Amino acid sequence: MPKTPFELSVVTPEKTAINMNVISVIVPSSDGYIGIWANHAPLMTSMRIGCLEYITEGRVREVLAVSNGFVEVADNKVIVLADSVEQQDEINVERAKLACERAREYLAAGRTNIDIDRARTAYERAVNRLDVAQKK
């Protein structure tokens, strides 16, 4: 049975990363991952650091690393407003490994003069980027 396509737009403050028709989307909402198909009920939710997956009309599975933002679903359109977005082939694995290690060192040092929340977020983003880069 053919799936009905709908529009997906993924934007950051700097760019529009995706604007295309897809047949499904999985987004990392703040309450867990949400699967979206055509004719989904209207929805607005916050988004956390995670992996955004979508299936194109040509049945190709694509994966993005996203961090924080909002997702709106209405009228067969999904709009993702994210702080940052990286497509799988854009991820610099070595840079992500270095960022992960640096954040881990800051957290392990137990310093009081650093922003712990910022270090945790940097660590989560780096780990997510590594996870997305390794997905097939």
For residue range 75-120, list pLDDT tens digits in order.
999 999 999 999 888 888 888 899 888 888 877 876 666 677 888 8
CATH assignment of the domain containing 122: 1.20.5.440
Is residue 42 within 8 Å of 77, Cβ to Cβ? no
Domain that holds residue 99: 91-134
Residue 1 has pLDDT above 50, yes or no: no
Arithmetic mean of pLDDT, 116-132:
86
Residues 123 and 109: their CA atoms lie apart, in Å, by 14
Give the per-residue pLDDT at 116: 78
Residues 7 and 16: their CA atoms lie apart, in Å, by 13
């987004």: which residue's tokens? Answer: 27
Residues 75 and 7: their CA atoms lie apart, in Å, by 9
Phi, psi for residue 134 in degrees, rounded to 5? -90, -10
The reply to whether 60 and 99 lie within a common domain is no
- pTM of this structure: 0.85
The reply to whether 97 and 129 lie within a common domain is yes
The reply to whether 27 and 68 lie within a common domain is yes
The reply to whether 22 and 57 lie within a common domain is yes
